[in-house]
Structure formats: C-alpha cells, structure tokens
A and B are shown apart, each in its own frame.
Chain A
Amino acid sequence: MSRARRKAAASAGAPGRVRKALATHWYAWTMVAPVVLVIGVIIGYPLVRGLYLSLTDANEANVERNIGMNHIPATYRFTGLDNYTEILGDGVFWSRLGWTVVWTVACVGLTFAIGLTLANLLNRKLRGRTFYRLALILPWAIPAFVSVFTWRLLYNEKNGLLNKLLAGGGIDAVPWLNDPTWAKLSVIAVNVWLGVPFMLVALLGGLQSIPGELYEAAEMDGAGAWQRFRNITLPSLRGVSSTVILLSTIWTFNMFPVIYLLTRGGPGDATEILVTYAYRLSFVDSPRDFSGSAAWGVLILLLLSMIAVVYRRSLRKQGEVW
C-alpha cells in the first residue's frame, strides 16, 4: 500500500468510525448530551477560566464591569507563573499544608476506626437495632452548619455546656477554642462527629454483604473472634473501605465549613487549612484577589489529584481492581 493510499484510507476510516459509533449509540448520546452540556458549562468553563485567571493579576478592581452609571474597563495583565512562585515561595503555604495533612489524616483515621467499630457492633443481632442505627445516622441528617454552630455553643469557654459539666466535676474550664492545641483537637472532634455516620453506613453495607458461611467455617476451624475479624472481615471490606477512605480524604482536605464556622481558622491561624486560608486571602482583603485565589484553587486541585492517583496505584499494587 502506498503512503498516499494508506493516508486516504485512514482519513476515510475516521469519520466512518464516528458515524458507526453514533449510529449504534445515538440514543445514549442524545440522552447524555444535556448533562454533558450542563457539566461543561458549570464545571468545565469555570475550571478553564480559573486556570487562565491564575496566570494573570486580575482582582476585583481591574476586571471589567458595568454598574449602572459606572463602567470599569478590564486592565489586568498576563503574568505567567508569578502567582504560583509567590505562593510556593511563601512559608505560609507550607505551614498550612503541614497542618492540613495532620488534620486530614487524624480525621479520616479516627472516623474510619470509630465507624468500623460501630458498624461491627450494629451488625450483630441485638434488640432495638433499628433504633441504634437511626440514632447513629442522625448527625448526618442535620445540616453541617447547624451542627457546627451547636458545637460552638457547647465549646464556649465561659458560657458553654461542656465547661459547665466539667465545673460540676470540679475541673477547671478548658479553653476549647481559645488555645491553639485545644482548638485543633476541638475542630477534629467535630469533624469526626460529622463524618462517622457516613463511614458507619458504608461499612455496615459492606459487612452485610459478607456471607455468614465464611464465619461459620472459620469458627469450625477454631478461629477466635480477633482472627475472624482480621482474616475475614477486613479483607472482605477492602473494596468498600478503600473507596470511603479516598472520598473522606478528599472531603476532609477541603472541609471548609467546620473550620470556618467553628474557629474562622483561629486562634491566630492555628486551625487554618489550605482552603480556609485561600478564602481569607481572597475574600477578606480588598480588592478581592481573583488571580491569587484561582492559583490557590489550582494548587489544591493538583494536590488532591495527586493523592487520588498515588492512592489508587498503591491499591492496585495490593491487587485491588478499582
């Protein structure tokens, strides 16, 4: 076959394939098209726009606007990677990243451990099981900001319920949100409280899909409760737990409401994670720094994508298809 003919065949083949695909799946494509369009407009466009803005020096004062009698022309410039070098060269980013990692690991680890324990307890046959399940899932049904404000009332150093209880036991008031270390523990506690129901439900589902025969057989072979847990429950749960751990890592990494509503990142900047810090930089100062905030957003997205890829790869190494 000469080169020209091969080229012609290839170019003839391409539209053919597309047409064939369209012919077989046209129905699916029509059904999906509106969704693709909406996602493209709502997620794709802002993402691309954000990427572009992060390479400029755009802020609230120099983007184009028409407000009644006032017209403000666009005067921002393309500045390349300046925003990124500035952020990465600043100690603030790295110190916040350190605490964000501690916060994420602590929250995910604790919610998983507590969720797994509770799920195991609830997987037994016991009286009033439905009641316990409902009670444990309830925190999930309450909007996060309501829970957080409730906790804030409880934590209030001078008038909060927690310190009143401690005072009853003769213990000095704990500066829950007014001391850097206590504040860190307090925000983690709230996030764990909010996160456990999700873990519980997911893991309970996983537990119930494990066939009872496995446990029976193990028991016949004389395996103890701990051995059964380690060798049957944990491996069988791997599919579910790897998914929920990844999801929960991503959520916790970006858990804006808990920190912002509970401490506003304080005292000082002790509990500030990357997203709340980005918020403080971009929305508290004036004029609002659109380009800087876009660059922070892109960096956070990159970090999370990296975590997901590394995590998936390590699972695949363990033989998990996911």
Chain B
Amino acid sequence: MRRGMVTTALVAGLAMAATACGGGGGGGDQQSGGELSGTVTFWDTSNDAEKATYKKLAEDFEKEHPKVDVKYVSVPFGDANAKFKNAAGGGAGAPDVMRTEVAWVADFANLGYLAPLDDTPALDNPGDYLPQALGSTRFKDKTYAVPQVTDTLGLFYNKRLLKEAGVEVPKTFAELSAAAKKIKDKTGATALYLRGDDPYWFLPYLYGEGGNMVDARDKIVEIDDDAGVKAFKAIKDLVDSKAAVTDATDGQENQLKALKDGSVAMAVSGPWDIEGVRAGKEFKDKKNLGVAPVPGGSASQGSPQGGWNLSVYAGSKNLQASYAFVKYMSSAKVQQQTTEKLSLLPTRKSVYELPSVKNNEMVGFFKPAVDKAVQRPWIAEGNSLFEPIKVQMNKVLTGAATPEQAAKAVGDSYRKILKDYK
C-alpha cells in the first residue's frame, strides 16, 4: 500500500511539472508580413449528430490560412464548463477558442477568462446579428463572445401517431393532458416524454405559469412565488396522470430513443436534436416529424432562448489567429452550411434571406419561436441557477417533496447564490 502511494506521488509530481512546462507552447502569432500563423485549439461542444460537420468546417479554415494549424477537440457539452474552468483557472490547457453556451459567457467573463472582442476582427459586422442572440454576448458593457447558433425549445411530434389518435397538436399542457388517454388507447404510445433530469426543460412550465427564475434588474428571486409552485405542480400532474413518462437520469438518450421508436408521441426539444430524431425508424419518412411551439401553461406560453457563442480565451498565445477563426466560424458562409447540413438556426439576419435557409422547414418553424423566446438573465451566476431546480424537480417527480416545498427550497438556494437579492 505504502509503496503504491509513493509511486503515485512521484508520478503526480512529474505530471504536474510536465503540464506546467507544457502550458507555454503554442507560439507564433501574426508575422510581420501580416499572414496569420500558429495553432488555434478549438473546443467544440456540439453533439454526436453534429460534430462531424463542425470538425470539417473548423478544418476548412486552414485552407484560407495555410500557416494556421486548427486543433479540433470535441468536448461533451456536460463536461465543457467544468473542464474549461479547470484549465483557465489553472493557467494551463485552456483552448484558444471555445463554443460556449449562452449562459456561460457572463460567468467566464466575470472571472476574467475571456478576451473582450470589441474592436477586434472577431466581431465582424455586429449589426447583422439578431439582437436576442447578441444579448447573451455582452457583460458589463463589453462584448465577450460572438453568436454562432441560436435556438429555443419546441414540441417535436410524431404526425402519424397524432393522426391515428385523432388529436390536434396541443397548444397548452392542459390540452396535451386531455389528449393523452386517446393517444394511449388508440396507439399505445405515451403522450409526452418529460425531461425530469434536466432543469432547462423546467423553464417552459415556469414561463407558462407566468413565472421566472429571478428578476435581474430589480434583484428579486421570483421562482418561489405562486407561479413557481404551479410549475412544479404541472410537471407532477403530467407524470402522475400518466400523460408523460420521465427519468431522473439519462433523459437525453431516453427521450431521443422513445421519440425515435414511437413509444412517445411528443417530446420537448431543440434544433440540436433534429438530425438525431430523423435517424430513427419512425422518421424514415422525414415528413413524419412535426415541430410546434412549446405548449403553454395556465398563464402564457414561453420557452427559453438558448444557443451557442464563440469565445476567445484571454490567455491565448495566438489572439490574432483566434480572432480570425471566430470571425470565420460565425461568418454568414459557415452559418449557411450548418443550417443546410444540420438545420441549426443562424444568428445573422442576412443568412435568413438565403433561399436554402428560407426554405428549410425547421428554420421556418424555429425562427418565429426564437424571435419570441424568453431571454434568460445574463448574469454571472446564471448557470448556477439550474442545479437547485434539478434537485427539486427530481424530488417533486419522485414524491420526495411537494411543489410548495420544492419552490421554497429553490428560492432559498438562489438567495445563497445571489447574496444581494431579495
């Protein structure tokens, strides 16, 4: 045992020394001639169905700048935040450019990890970006990222199953609940897959009851008021009445599989799952997949604005090449390609004018939804607001807490995270 420990210690020591030395690499930058050179490490967080396209696009940059070496690294979305923080805070191993979730930008910028992009080549023609998409890139009057794709949640539905059951696409969760028995009796499928493992999926229920997580302008925690309680009650009712099935783990895979196999008729998801869903046996005929706005609650209808931005690490050894890479990856040309291949939504107004984008059925649905999507509070703690919801929605769904207890518990933890909020 003891000998094992010493060996481990030695190995760890050597490893630490090695990484400390390794941090300095990279080298190169804009040469006197003005040609870009050096290495740009790019962390991509796109999912399995998307990453091949992104890898190819990233590497195409080398054709325009032959002296720049793009190192493409695929990082699973779930690990990316922690991994970047470890690397950036530790001062070694952070990528030059990262595909950053909209809620992470303010957080990373607040900690000093991101390079401001105002007046750099990275922020190319900012007037062309959709204003909602640009909202998440700004923190304390500076721009820290460039929007790459935007998204929001929608209701994916299996047209065949709904038709067989003879029900309309539901506009509210109450309608969905009412149609559930018909769907079950006529087709055997459950009406909805409810993501009980991911707090992001709680937001349509919260917005639907007229609630919100926090009011960032007046610094008030809002989730524990009546609307919050009703939202927890709404998810509980859907599951209890068997209108929906749920899981506390592996929701992404289970939801995708259930929808693909036709064991559920509907699921709430975003553009990132379009390619994945279409790979399933129920959707061999691509026309069988329908997408509608997320159903509303008792008060209104709303789904969160999401999406991905490109950010540059402040400690990058290769800022000029990184700026150029960001400019390229968010250019109209690249955005057009991601829409054609993956049906992802562009962030540039001009791209929506292109015929191939205009005629894309998924863009046709999601664009108006994105225009109306609810902007989340772009505060440094924005991403931290999800974990308490996750714990409590799990508890509500398994019967370990009542909706009232859950809403109160989330509110209490928010006041711990946001010390100056009421």
Residues facing B in A26-62 (CB within 8 A) are 35, 38-39, 41-43, 60-61
Query: Does B392 reach chain A (CB closer than 8 Å)?
Result: yes
Would you call B314 and A67 a contact (CB within 8 A)? yes
B279 beta carbon closer than 8 Å to chain A: no
Please, what's the 1-or-0 string for B225-255, where 1 marks a CB less than 8 Å from any CB in chain A? Answer: 0000000000000000000011111100110
Which residue, of B82, B258, B398, has the highest number of chain A Cβ atoms within 10 A?
A: B398
Which residues of chain A come closer than 8 Å to B383, judged between CB atoms? 286
**How many chain A residues have a CB neighbour from B under 8 Å?**
40
A98 interface residue per 8 A CB criterion: no
Task: Knowing that A67-B113, A177-B247 touch, tell me 11 more A-B residue pairs with CB under 8 angstroms.
Answer: A38-B6, A61-B110, A65-B91, A72-B111, A156-B250, A157-B247, A158-B247, A266-B197, A266-B248, A267-B400, A286-B111
Is B249 touching A288 in the complex (CB atoms < 8 A)? no
**Considering only CB atoms, which chain B residue lies closest to A37 in the complex?**
B13
CB <8 Å contact, A67 and B249? no
User: Smallest CB–CB gap between A190 and chain B, Å?
Assistant: 13
* Listed A/B pairs (28) with beta-carbon separation below 8 Å: A38-B10, A60-B85, A61-B380, A67-B91, A67-B112, A68-B315, A70-B112, A157-B254, A158-B258, A158-B263, A159-B254, A159-B257, A180-B398, A266-B390, A267-B397, A268-B392, A268-B401, A270-B398, A270-B400, A284-B387, A285-B384, A286-B85, A286-B111, A286-B381, A286-B384, A287-B110, A287-B380, A288-B85
B283 to chain A, nearest CB (A): 18
Q: Are A269 and B254 in contact (CB under 8 A)?
A: no
Contact B89 A269 (CB under 8 A): no
A68 to chain B, nearest CB (A): 4
4 A-B pairs with the lowest CB-CB distances in the bound complex, closest first? A268-B395, A267-B248, A68-B315, A68-B314
The residue in chain B whose Cβ has the minimal distance to the Cβ of A71 is: B112
**CB under 8 Å from chain B, chain A span 65-79:** 65-72
Interface residues of B, dominant DSSP: helix
The answer to whether B381 touches A280, judged by C-beta atoms less than 8 angstroms apart, is no
Confirm or deny: B316 has a beta carbon within 8 angstroms of a beta carbon on chain A.
yes
Q: Which of A166-187 contact B (CB under 8 A)?
A: 177-180, 183
Q: Name the A residues within 8 Å of B49 (CB-CB).
A: none
Q: Which A residues are in CB contact (< 8 Å) with B380?
A: 61, 286-287
Q: Which residue of A lies closest to B86 (CB)?
A: A283
Interface residue total, chain B, C-beta cutoff 8 A: 50
- Which of B6, B253, B313, B387 is close to A280, meaning CB atoms less than 8 Å apart? B387
CB neighbours of B324 from chain A (8 A): none
Binding site for B on A (CB under 8 A): 35, 38-39, 41-43, 60-61, 65-72, 152, 156-159, 177-180, 183, 263-264, 266-270, 280, 283-288
Which of A39, A158, A284 has the most C-beta atoms of chain B within 10 angstroms of its own C-beta? A158
Q: Are A42 and B417 in contact (CB under 8 A)?
A: no
Q: How many contacts between A and B, using CB within 8 angstroms?
A: 125
Contact A67 B9 (CB under 8 A): no
Contact A72 B400 (CB under 8 A): no
Closest to A183 in B: B248
Quick check: B258 and A42 within 8 Å, CB to CB?
A: no
Chain A residues with CB below 8 A from B221, complex form: none
Taking CB atoms and an 8 Å cut-off, the chain B residues in 71-124 that contact chain A are 82, 85, 88-89, 91, 107, 110-113, 115
Q: Is B174 an interface residue, CB under 8 A from the partner?
A: no
Complex Cα distance, B248 from A180, in Å, reads 10
Which residues of B290-314 have CB atoms within 8 Å of chain A's CB atoms? 313-314
CB distance from B275 to the nearest CB of A (A): 20
B155: interface (CB < 8 Å): no
Contact of B394 among A156, A268, A286 (CB under 8 A): A268
Our pick among A42, A159, A263, A283 for the contact of B82 (Cβ within 8 Å) is A283
How far apart are the CA atoms of A35 and B7 in the complex, in Å?
9
CB distance from A245 to the nearest CB of B (A): 15
Q: Check A65–B89 contact: CB distance below 8 A.
A: yes
Chain A residue numbers with a CB within 8 Å of B395 are 267-269
Q: Tell me the residues in window 245-289 of chain B with beta carbons closer than 8 Å to chain A beta carbons.
A: 245-250, 253-254, 257-258, 263
CA distance A105 to B82 in the complex (A): 32
A68 contacts B313, CB within 8 Å?
yes
**Are the C-beta atoms of A178 and B381 separated by less than 8 Å?**
no
Verify if B391 is at the interface (C-beta below 8 Å from A): yes
Residues on the A chain within 8 Å of B381, using CB: 285-286
Q: Does B20 touch A at the CB level, under 8 Å? A: no
Chain B: minimal CB distance from A266 (Å)? 5
Q: Tell me the minimal C-beta distance from B205 to chain A in angstroms.
A: 17
A267 touches B398 (CB 8 A): yes
Question: A residues within 8 A CB of B398?
Answer: 178-180, 267-268, 270
Q: Would you call B400 and A180 a contact (CB within 8 A)?
A: yes
Given A42-B12, A267-B397: A178 touches B314 (CB 8 Å cut-off): no
The CA-CA distance from A43 to B13 in the complex, in Å, is 11
Cα distance A280–B413 in the bound complex, in angstroms: 13
In the complex, how many angstroms separate the beta carbon of B262 from the nearest chain A beta carbon? 13
The answer to whether A69 and B384 touch across the interface, beta carbons within 8 angstroms, is no
Q: How far is the CA of A91 from the CA of B391 in the complex (A)?
A: 16
CB-CB under 8 A from B316, the residues of chain A are 68
Q: Which of B9, B248, B381, B395 has the most CB of A within 10 A?
A: B248
User: Is B88 a contact partner of A268 (Cβ separation < 8 A)?
Assistant: no
Which A residues lie within 8 Å of B315 (CB)?
A: 67-68
B332 CB, min distance to chain A CBs, angstroms: 29
